[in-house]
Structure 1
């Protein structure tokens, strides 16, 4: 610090220790971004998404710091006559720059898009952090609450609105190889009134059904569509001979 002060012009040396713009308002702005974006990231973490608590918190906190620096970081060079700065320019760069992270979270596999909701949540975290950094922590808190309304409230609402229409559901299961279980699973789903739209299998040679039996397990992802209750189908499948486990995926698993 002393070496920098010695090299600086006399009129700038006093500004190196100027703490204006580095008080409690800025700390509160950063803390609000830390808290609100952590809440958004916690929801993603609990759903075991690729971008979770740390990613959303760091994105929001970084966006808030960019806004704080943009608003308060150049007071020593702004004189109101020849040097004017626009703090909103940094907000515009955050909006475009965060797209690189979002693009890295979205990918397509077999005509199904994954990562859209998580990418949108990261983009939202950047917006909340930008708002907090600008001092608008009230609207940032409102948007955070709206995030939870959308992520937790909309899926049941969609299911209620579309209860009379065929619903696409995802089933993940494991079964013993070499026992013709897949044929039984597909026949049972058809009898329950479901149309099978997608079948993906993967052999796991390291997952033995029994230590005494040299028979690997098969992982199966089944996408079905129908008006019936998919949970009833899952129960029936779990009782099928040779099926080891069955898990019903969420309605938006393929999108997130």
Structure 2
């Protein structure tokens, strides 16, 4: 491989940057940890590695007389997709009942796959994959927001241990919002001076959360609460 070969690699790499940027822009717009630059780098790195794999015959090594080089780019693809799993794991975290970051992890994984396709010269499949990914992340999200649905909310409530009436009051407040709520953790905190419980609620819109927050503030002995709507 020499400088004369560079024009052959320009289009796949530029296409990988564009595809990664399109996907990363949606994640950046929503304030996710892995955004614009991360997706571009993932797609570009995948394309570069695949270009390297398909150009194995141009590597600088001495071939034994009578030997035959057989390139297997699929091994590089397997390695890239395995390695990208560690990066995806870094954007997934658990908060209460909910697992956050799965969509961003999936977008990183498919971005790597698209980069591999560009690197292998499969432009039609890569462009189609990039377009469908943007549709799933952006267009289908807009559609889902218009559908009647309930959002999942992680609720964390803390009260003093000696406030014996607080737990019943909290349970009653949550029951009025969601009669089928689920309880997650029971914790004794602050050296035994406080109690913390977490719940998973399903609510329709922000109005019930505002009502719940106002009611929780009136409970005697309550020292803190957090209402965290799930939004991947």
Please name the residue that 1:249 is paired with: 229
Tell me by how many angstroms 1:235 deviates. Answer: 4.3
2:86 paired with 1:100: yes
- Tell whether the 8 Å contact from 1:185 to 1:237 is kept in structure 2 after alignment: no
**Unmatched runs of 5 consecutive residues or more in structure 1:** 1-14, 201-219
Who is 1:204 aligned against? none
**Counterpart of 2:176?**
191
CA contact (8 A) 1:170 1:248 kept: yes
Counterpart contact for 1:190–1:196, Cα < 8 Å: yes
Which position in structure 2 is the counterpart of 1:66?
Answer: 49
Q: Is the 8 A contact 2:97 2:184 kept in 1?
A: no
Q: TM-score scaled by structure 1?
A: 0.61
Q: Distance in 2 between matches of 1:248 and 1:52?
A: 22
Q: Pick closer, same or farther for the CA change 1:33–1:182 going to 2, 3 Å.
A: farther
Match of 1:52 in 2: 35
Contact 2:98 2:154 in 1 (8 A): no
CA-atom RMSD in angstroms: 4.3
The CA deviation at 1:230 is 3.0
Name which of 89, 103, 116 aligns with 2:75.
89
| Superposition deviation, residue 157 in structure 1 | 5.8
Residue 80 of structure 1 and its aligned partner are, at CA, apart by 10
1:151 Cα shift?
2.7
Question: Matched residues in 2 for 1:56 and 1:80: separation?
Answer: 43
**Structure 2 counterpart of 1:151:** 137
State whether residues 189 and 195 of structure 1, in contact with CA within 8 Å, keep that contact through their aligned partners in structure 2. no
1:19 Cα deviation (Å)?
Answer: 2.6
Q: Does 1:35 align with 2:18?
A: yes
2:208 counterpart of 1:233: yes
For 2:201, the equivalent position in structure 1 comes to: 224
Q: How far apart, CA to CA, are the structure 2 residues paired with 1:222 and 1:92?
A: 40
1:146 Cα deviation after fit: 1.7
Cα distance change, pair 237–76 in 1 and its aligned pair in 2 (3 A): closer
| Residue matched to 2:103 | 117
Indicate if the aligned counterparts of 2:23 and 2:107 stay in contact, CA closer than 8 A: yes
1:29 to partner: Cα distance = 0.9
Q: Deviations over 1:16-41 (max 9, x none)?
A: xx334311x31111111111112212
Give the TM-score of the pair, scaled to structure 2.
Answer: 0.67
Partner of 1:22: 6
